[in-house]
Amino acid sequence: MTLNQVLPLAITMGEPAGIGWEITLKAWEKRAKTDQPFYLLDDFNRLKKVCNNVPIEIIKTPSDALQVFPNALPIFHMPLSAPTNFGKPSTKTAPDVVLSIRQAVRHIENKMAAGVITNPIQKSILYDIGFKYPGHTEFLGAISSIAATPLMMLSCHDLKVVPITTHLNLVDAISEISTRRIINTCMLTANSLATDFGVKNPHIAVAGLNPHAGEGGQLGEEEQKIIEPAVSELKSIGLNVSGPLSPDTLFSRPIRKTFDVAICMYHDQALIPIKTLDFEKSVNITLGLPFVRTSPDHGTALDIAGQGIANEKSMVAAIQVASRIAKYRVLEK
């Protein structure tokens, strides 16, 4: 019996005023599409009021989820500090959101959960209470005490992308791009594709920064001065890397078929193509953590929270991917 079969996946609360609770309930209703039990760290009493006849049950420990899951969504009760109004995040419940993430990580570290799926958070509210991290990726890296900064990978059926920089304004993002950062990103990505997806010696496509990848220096020198040296060094150590490639054609159907992952220079260069291809089922995966973490690749959707119309497909996909990665890591050991 493998770890994947005996440990459930943890799902965090996310922003209580958003749609996290709803897409998790709906994902449980679609549990036939997943091969691993999961449980939700959330306030049982508030869920009882909104669960719309979806059965939920309190569990005392994550291991209880295995028995409960076939008949009800297991809830690891974490009481909210204040009532929730859909669509209206509050700083009063923001600490509860952070605590939910910390608790899920503790469960994993204590070998009580196989991985974590994080529901969307409202970053602006967390910043108001002193949250110092751009998002989940950086926070999870900090509380995991890892040496290297973890990476954000976005994945769908037809494309995987990793941005060099993430939640920065565009001017700052460009200034943060360096040859060493590209090298480190590509090396961690290659290692993660091997350990988490079984892709040995992946073909990594590195996007250019400027239009037409700089057009030989006529439209910018970053490709020649920063990106090309990184690609050359990566090739010299045996990685299967190509680039810098023109961003305007990199994501076309014929070229997508030629690589396993695209390394992009900034947030929107990576996220626009993947969300255009498959907004409903794309998944956010954190690379470089000592545990499995995925999430739906969308936000809190405050404008539709509490209306019962949230789409759970990305959450279902996030659960499926987390399960596959957890299983593959066990097989690799």
Quick: pLDDT tens for 265-285. 999 999 999 999 998 889 999
Token pair belonging to 307 = 């209306």
Quick check: helix, strand or coil at residue 12? coil
CA-nearest of 23, 80, 44 to 301 is 23
User: Domain total for the chain?
Assistant: 2
Amino acid 332: pLDDT = 60
Residue 168's identity, in one-letter code, is L
Side chain identity, residue 115:
G
pLDDT of residue 333: 59
Distance CA 180, CA 40 (A): 39
293 and 215, same domain (yes or no): no
Q: Which range of residues forms the domain containing residue 105?
A: 1-146+289-333
Task: Indicate if the pLDDT at residue 3 is higher than 70.
Answer: no
Q: Using a pLDDT cut of 90, give the percent of the chain over it.
A: 84
Distance CA 315, CA 133 (A): 23
Residues 159 and 87 in one domain: no
What's the confidence (pLDDT) of residue 168?
85
Residue 270 sits in the same domain as residue 192: yes
Is pLDDT above 90 for 135? Answer: no
Q: What is the CATH number of the domain that holds 124?
A: 3.40.718.10
Rounded CA-CA distance 316/300 in Å is 16
Mean of pLDDT over the chain: 93
Distances (CA, A) of 223 to 4, 109, 215, 233, 238: 43, 41, 9, 14, 21
- Same domain? For 218 and 259 the reply is yes
pLDDT for 35 equals 82
Percent of the chain whose predicted confidence (pLDDT) is above 70: 98
Residue holding tokens 């279902």? 316
Q: For residue 16, what pLDDT is reported?
A: 97
Give the pTM.
Answer: 0.92
229 and 313 in a single domain? The answer is: no
Whether residue 83 is predicted with pLDDT greater than 80 in this model: the reply is yes
Q: How far is CA 146 from CA 138, 233, 288, 291, in A?
A: 11, 25, 8, 11
